[in-house]
Amino acid sequence: MLLLIAWRNIWRNFKRSGIIIVSIAFGIWAGVFTIALSLGMVNQMVEDALRTYISHIQIHKPGFRQRREVKLVIPAGREIAAQLGQAPSVQGAAPRSVVAGMAGSPTSTNGVQIIGIDPQAEAKVTDISERLIDGEYFESSKRNQAVIGKKLAERLNLRVGSKIVLTAPMPSGEIGAGAFKVVGIYKTSTSMYDETTVFVNIQEADRIFVLSGGIHEIAVVMHNIDQADSLTTALRSQFPDLEIFGWKDISPELAMMTEMMDQSLLIIMIIILLALVFGITNTMLMGVLERTRELGILMALGLKNGKVFVMILWETILLSLVGGAVGILAGIVTNALCRRTGIDFSLFAEGLEAFGMAAIVYPAMHTRHYIIVSVLVILTAVIAAIYPGIKAMRLKPVEAIRTY
């Protein structure tokens, strides 16, 4: 009954309730959209980073990750990689040799990681082969092929077909160098990676830098990322002498980012809702004040103070829920529309790519977030109802009836 009265009361002053509902709806919509956009950005960033260069699990000789010494090779690395590649839960395992060196063209030089890869195994692990913007991925027939990033190509003024000289220290301590031909140019969403990563065939890296078949890194991608943890544990007991890291260990920042984003989004939503509290409180207060007489009559008829408070509370919650529902629905629709095309931030592409973010963002939002938003809306309504509710509760029936 109270609920019904509350519902009818909301619609008595249509204009006033309308304004506050629109304001709640707008606030929630803006919040939901911001959240979806930010989550979309972060998800994409994490996915891209995993797909492009982190993978799900990486195996190294202890110390290699810090010092990048060429001597720190994985014993029997190729065999381990081949074995892992056969495991049913594993999508692919790529052996790599990784050498910190320098790439030079006739005009300029740049610092790079030279990564020797097995093109077939690598294609199952990373998506560089799908990110070529010019030229082709490795062809088995040709020798001394290199695939480089777009940014490096610009820096060194290189095109497909250009010659590139790769220089790096060898395990012996001497410096080795080799001339390669650029066969493909790729572009990821991280400009720094594109500027500093050169792919060559693992056999050629081996030959030029005299690595004697040693590899430095095995990158593993699972069919299902959730299985990475269990495989990591299994590998650790199998190879106690190797450093085996899941993606969260390799890039704790990335793992942390999702969590941090969740927190900052919660803060954004709370600030929006706090801003809404003022408007809601005011609307409800006005509703109470202009109904002084009516509330007085209800109380004179025997409606208890507590019930009056509950009635005001219900009104506020209903009002907020109507606004919240409209806002969330609008958010869902907007998100769905934007998911289809993505939102183009190409204007800021360079700035975004400096931080590993793609320029086209697809908003993403979990049901979990919608639930959190809804709960927050109700919480907001309760907070907003306190003052007007107390005001209504404190009315003295006699005085309330007298004044009008």
Contacting positions for another protein (CB under 8 A) = 15-16, 19-20, 22-23, 26-27, 30-31, 34, 66-69, 100-102, 104, 106-112, 154-157, 167-169, 175, 191, 196, 252-253, 256-257, 260, 268, 271-272, 274-276, 278-279, 281-283, 285-286, 289, 345, 347-355
Between 111 and 306, name the residue whose CB sits nearer to another protein. 111
Between 175 and 375, name the residue whose CB sits nearer to another protein. 175
Kindly state the smallest distance separating residue 106's Cβ from another protein, in Å.
6
Kindly state the smallest distance separating residue 388's Cβ from another protein, in Å.
10
Burial (CB count within 10 angstroms: exposed 0-12, middle 13-18, buried 19+), residue 64? buried
State how far the Cα of 202 lies from the Cα of 323, in Å rounded to an integer.
60
Between 196 and 335, name the residue whose CB sits nearer to another protein. 196
Half-sphere exposure (Cβ direction) of 9: Cα atoms closer than 13 Å: 25
What residue type is assigned to position 135 of the chain? G
User: Phi/psi of residue 346, each to 5°?
Assistant: -55, -25
**What is each CA distance from 354 to 99, 127, 350, 357, 358, in whole angstroms?**
23, 19, 6, 8, 10
Kindly state the smallest distance separating residue 120's Cβ from another protein, in Å.
29
Kindly state the smallest distance separating residue 140's Cβ from another protein, in Å.
30
Contact in structure between 208 and 43 (CB atoms under 8 Å) = no
State how far the Cα of 10 lies from the Cα of 385, in Å rounded to an integer.
13
Burial (CB count within 10 angstroms: exposed 0-12, middle 13-18, buried 19+), residue 266? middle
Between 141 and 263, name the residue whose CB sits nearer to another protein. 263
State how far the Cα of 382 lies from the Cα of 386, in Å rounded to an integer.
7
Between 86 and 107, name the residue whose CB sits nearer to another protein. 107
By C-alpha distance, which of 102, 53, 98, 96 is closest to 71? 98
Between 24 and 218, name the residue whose CB sits nearer to another protein. 24
**What is each CA distance from 401 to 9, 290, 381, in whole angstroms?**
19, 12, 28
Between 49 and 117, name the residue whose CB sits nearer to another protein. 49
Name 12's Cβ contacts closer than 8 Å, sequence gap at least 6.
Answer: none
In what helix (H) or strand (E) does residue 199 lie, and over which residues does it extend? strand 197-201
Between 26 and 239, name the residue whose CB sits nearer to another protein. 26
Kindly state the smallest distance separating residue 136's Cβ from another protein, in Å.
25
Kindly state the smallest distance separating residue 235's Cβ from another protein, in Å.
25
Kindly state the smallest distance separating residue 196's Cβ from another protein, in Å.
8
Between 11 and 278, name the residue whose CB sits nearer to another protein. 278
Kindly state the smallest distance separating residue 184's Cβ from another protein, in Å.
21
Between 170 and 378, name the residue whose CB sits nearer to another protein. 170
Kindly state the smallest distance separating residue 6's Cβ from another protein, in Å.
19
Kindly state the smallest distance separating residue 145's Cβ from another protein, in Å.
22
By C-alpha distance, which of 24, 22, 8 is closest to 376? 24
State how far the Cα of 52 lies from the Cα of 356, in Å rounded to an integer.
11
Half-sphere exposure (Cβ direction) of 347: Cα atoms closer than 13 Å: 3
Would you list the DSSP string of 274-289?
A: HHHHHHHHHHHHHHHH
